[in-house]
Every structure is written in structure tokens, then in C-alpha cells.
Amino acid sequence: MAETSLMHQALVFLLAAVISVPVASRLGLGSVLGYLSAGAVIGPFAFGFIGTDIGGVMHFAEFGVVMMLFLVGLELQPSLLWRMRVPIVGLGGLQVVLTTVAIAGVAMALDMGWQHATAIGMILALSSTAIVLQTLNEKGLMKNDAGQSAFSVLLFQDIAVIPMLAILPLLAVTDVEHVSAKHGLPGWQGTLLVLAVVSSIVVVGRLVSRHVFRIIAATKLRETFTAMALLLVVGIAVLMEYVGLSPALGTFIAGVVLATSEYRHELEAEVEPFKGLLLALFFISVGASIDFGLFLENPWPILALVVGLVLIKMVILLVLGWGFGMSARSNAIFTFSLAQGGEFAFVLLSFTSSQDILPAAIVEPMGLVVALSMAITPLLFVLNERVVLPKLSGNANVRPTDTIEPHDAEGEAILVGFGRFGQIVGRLLRMNGFNITVLEHDASQVDLVRSFGHKVFYGDASRMELLESAGIANARLLVLAIDDHQRTLETVHQVRRHYPSLRILARAAGRRQAAELLHAGADHVERETFDSALSLGEHALKNLGYRAYQAHRAAMLFKHHDEKNVHALTEVIADEKAFLTMAKQHTADLEKVLHSDDEADAGLQDSGWDRN
């Protein structure tokens, strides 16, 4: 019976996730809100599709957060972490201390004793690592200023949990036994134990792990490696819990230690899916833990507390972001992202209630407030993106298309896309004295390139108006160097319709895309990886003993033969497109190519030059 109910629960969780996440993504709200709302719907306080033991599920799912920090650690070289020490200690430390003080002050103003007030302040100062990192990652904001600052604060909060667990028992109003950690050793021995455990993680990670991984990898059994990766994370988490440290912090340290390991990518690949599923489960369980009954009893006071909590946190974050010199846009992202209670609040709340530090009358509504504040975080992100950011100037992803003045639109050629591919084309043309107009749709790229004195305009070139204002009517040439095939194809179609005689050169991903672009009317197409692959192949021939010129001729003959294939494909493309699916097309294309290679084999020999 137990299995049935486990299967039943899994069925409900998976179904909820599979339905709600695509809906939320469609609405542009991100996966986190999808999971949270799915949880709220299936939870015991709404439809009750799942059992009432949401706390148990959540506790299990918190392991997703542990895994996430392991993965974050893997991405962080120790040197990078060292460079972040100022934001971690400064920004993070100030956020925790100021927020604790502010919230405690409000609590005391609401007639609470200072002990209760301080406990509440500490618990609510923490933000949700899971929600924030997941959302920032999804939006691709982790690598920029705002993401890095948010991460620094979250990291400090994870560290701050340790002293909090030590301080909270001191705030008990009724006298309880002081137990700071599970091992029950006196303070100084506990500290030594913690130091010993952390340094053994570093030493083992540095010196021992690679040998173990090598042995495991040599078995060539993938599941063994998966098991090893999980064992590593679980083992560290258990060890950390034993010595009273945050498991997330422990696995984070392990991740940083292993960031320089040659098995880093394998570890990432193995842990990633587990992290994803567990985090999803965690978000669902947060949604499910929202106690609508309690909420409906006093909706207004609860709402006031949620809004109050978010506002206090936002004000402090805003001031800190300003004080640390963030741009207005970065500060907005930073402020909106960290303004909720976190998963550690649940841990600390259950700890305080078990230690009688806070009475149930406080703990229960506070749990609800934290869950609600987490649930509205994705909405805050949306509010920030749709309302706040568009009003701010500065460097981020949302910005209006540049206006191109007529005198800037005198380029003989228009180059669309100034990424890795377009840059080479653009630099070559400029070095040879041609005046070109460059359009690029990645805003940060535009600013970077502009700072080197290039004339680059921001905007989406598949819109005809932008091409018009870039002077396409007088240009001799249009070069499409973006990596989005559909947009390139649309642009070729549109431009061909309006300017039948303009020369269009386009970048294509593979042979099928090249054929489609040629068929759509591009004059010349280059496959983005073809020439470099060919060049590498030429080197391979040389390394296998070919003379340089022999290898070069072989590569050129191959290129000629292959390009003929692409043109042949162009002719058949219109007929077969309707009948074949994409995957079948690729197989069919490859078959055709390999067949034609066999036939051409004999022709690929030079017959010129006698043997003097």
C-alpha cells in the first residue's frame, strides 16, 4: 500500500509540474511560479491531492537546494570566490544585520519582547537561495552585476545560518537546555570539529577525489559514476549536519574545491538532473505548504505582514545596492530578487518551535508569511521587468531600438549580427576601408563593441523598418551573421521581396539551413562551422603524413564537392519539405551526402603534375 501511495504522489507531483510549468513559461512568468502554483493547487489546504505530510516532502526536497549550491560551487573557481570576498562579507553582512535589526524593531513596535523580536528578525533576514538562483539562472542574469551581488548575499546568508543556530537558543524566554549542534560537544571542541571537517573536505577534494574518480571512471559504468557523484553530495551533507553546519554550505565548499578538477563537467552533468527534479519538488512543496485556512481566518493582517516584510527587505537592499555603486538597473534586479523569506526560515522556525524559543502562535503565521513572500517573488520579477526596468536607463536586456540618424546610415554594406561570427566579417570589411552599418540585437554586446569606437546599433533586424532606417535602400550588400536561423530566413524572404537586386550573404548553421537560405534567395551562404572543420581536417591529414599542399588540395576538393551537394539539396528542398520531418530530413541529407562521397572518391585525386 505504501508503494501505491508513493507512486500516486509521484504521479500527482509530476503531472502538476508538467502541466503548470509550460503554462507559466508561456505567460512569461518562469518555472518557479509554475511549480509554486501547482503546489498550492494540489496541496492539503486546497484540493488535497497529496498527503498532509508536506513538511516531510519539503525536508526531502530541500536536498535540491544542497545540490544547487554544489553546482554553483563547481562553477566558481577558488580565485573567483576570493575576488568576491568584499561583496560577500560587506554586502551580505550588512544585509543580514540591517534586516535583522529593522525587522526586530518593527516586531518590538508591535509589542513583542526583544528576544522574540530578535529571533524573528534573524529568521526573516534570510532570502530564498532556491528561488532566487533558479530564477536568475533562467533569466540569464547570474553572470552580471546584479546576479553576482545577489549570489554574494545568499552565500553570506548560508554562512550566517551557523551562528544563528547558536544564538537562537540564547533567546529562549523559558529556560531550555542549550544544544547548539547534534554532536553535543562543548563549544570549543565543536569549533575544532567544524574546522577539522571543513579542512578535510578541502584536502580530500584536492588530493584524493581525482584518484577515486579516475578509478570509478575506468569502470566505464555510467551509473557507478552517478552513484559516486550523489554519494559525494549526500555524504558531505550528512557530515555537515552532524557537525551542525549548513549542508548547503558544505557542498558549496566541496563544489568550489572540485571546480578545478578535470571531472568537473561529468559531475555537473550527473548531479544536474537530480537537482532540477528535487528543486521542482521543493518549490511544489512550498506552494503546497501555504495554509489557506489560516490565511482566510485573518487575510488582512497576514497580507500586511507579507507586504511589510517585502518592503522592509527591499528598502534595505535598495540602499545597499546604491551604497555599493550598482547601476539603477542592476540595483532594481538585485532589490526585487532578494525581497522574500527563504527556505532556511522554515528550518529555523521548526528549530525555534522545537526549542520553545517562539510560541506556535508566532511560528505558524510566520511560516505562512514566508511561504507567501516566496510565492510572490516570481511576480515581483515580472513587475520589475515589465514596469520598473523599462523606466530605467543603463545596461540590461530590455531596451528600445536605437534610432539611426541618416548620416550614420551611409554604409555600403549592412552587417546584421556582431557576435563571434559577424565580428570577423565586420573587422575584415573595416580594415579594408569599407564603411559598414552594424545592427546587433544583444544589448550588452552593443555597448562593449561601441566602447571600442565601432558604430553599432541596437535592434532586431528582422523588422523591415530597422533595415530601412539603416539605409538598405542605398546599400550594395546585406550580410546576415546572426545565429538564429528562422530570423535569418525571414529576413532573406522580406528583403528579397522589397529589394530583388540587393546582394545578400548569409550565415547558416548546417547544410539544410544553407540550402533553405539559398532557396529563399540568398546569393551566397557560408555554413558557420564548415570552414573551420575543414581546416581542422586539413591539419589532421597533415598529422597523418600528408604534405601540406597535398592536404590543402584534398580539403579544397572536398569543399568543392560538398558545396555542390548543398546546391543540389537546394533544388529538391521545395518538394520534399512537406513530406519529411526535420529529423528524417537530417538523416536523408546525410545519406545523400555519404552516397555522393562514395561516388566522388575516385575524382578526389589530383591528376596534374608528373613525377619529376
Partner 1 sequence: MMAKALIIYAHPAHQRSQANQTLLDTIAGIADVTVHDLYEQYPNFHIDVEREQALLLQHDIIVFQHPVYWYNAPALLREWQDLVLVYGFAYGRNSQKLAGKVFWPVLTAGASHSSYSESGINRHSLADFFIAYPQIAHLCGMHYETPYEIFSSRQKTQAAMQDVANGYRDKLIALLAGMTHG
Shorter beta-carbon distance to partner 1: residue 395 or 550: 550
Least distance from partner 1 to the Cβ atom of residue 548, Å: 4
Distance CA 91, CA 320 (A): 7
- Any idea which residue has 539562472 for its cell? 137
CB of 554 to partner 1, least distance (A): 10
- Shortest reach from residue 549's CB to partner 1, in Å: 4
Nearer CB in complex with partner 1: 401/550? 550
Q: Residue 4 or residue 612: which is nearer to partner 1 going by CB?
A: 612
Instruction: Determine if 602 is a binding residue for partner 1 (CB under 8 A).
Output: no
Which residues have a Cβ under 8 Å from the Cβ of 316 and sit 6 or more positions away? 95, 98, 99, 102
> Which CB sits closer to partner 1, 598 or 610?
610
Separation CA 30–CA 35 (nearest Å): 9
Q: Which of residues 1-40 bind partner 1 (CB under 8 A)?
A: none
Give the CA angle between residues 515, 517, 520 to the nearest 5°.
110
Measure the CA–CA gap between 551 and 160, rounded to whole angstroms: 62
When the beta carbons of 293 and 608 are compared against partner 1, the nearer one is 608
Query: Binding to partner 1 by residue 224, rule CB under 8 A?
Result: no
Residue number with CB closer to partner 1 (229 or 541)? 541
Cα gap 277→17, rounded to integer Å:
10
Nearest distance from C-beta of residue 206 to partner 1, angstroms = 46
Site membership for partner 1, residue 606 (CB under 8 A): yes
Q: How far is the CB of 540 from partner 1 (least distance, A)?
A: 14
Residues in the chain: 612
d(CA 311, CA 319): 12
Nearer to partner 1, 357 or 551 (CB): 551
Torsion of CA 509, 510, 512, 514, to 10 degrees: 60
Total residues at interface with partner 1 (CB under 8 A): 14
In 3D, which of 431, 445, 438, 451 has the Cα closest to residue 408? 438
Cell numbers at 463, concatenated = 523588422
Nine cell digits for residue 595 = 552516397
Yes or no: say if 421 and 480 are a contact pair by the CB < 8 Å rule: no
Of the candidates 188, 300, 452, 609, which one interacts with partner 1 according to CB under 8 A? 609
In the complex, the smallest distance separating the C-beta of residue 553 from partner 1, rounded to whole angstroms, is 8
User: Is the Cβ of residue 25 or residue 550 nearer to partner 1 in the bound state?
Assistant: 550
Place of cell 526560515: 345
Cβ–Cβ < 8 Å for 412, 476? yes
Cβ of residue 65: shortest distance to partner 1, in angstroms? 55
Distance of CA 107 to the CA centre of its chain: 36
The least CB distance from residue 607 to partner 1, in Å, is: 10
Interaction pattern, residues 488-527, with partner 1; x per rule: CB under 8 A: ----------------------------------------
Range 527-566, binding partner 1 (CB under 8 A): 546-553
Which residue number, 300 or 609, has a Cβ lying nearer to partner 1?
609
Phi, psi of 137 (to 5 degrees): -60, -45
Contact 68, 22 (CB under 8 A): no
Residues that bind partner 1 (CB under 8 A): 546-553, 606, 608-612
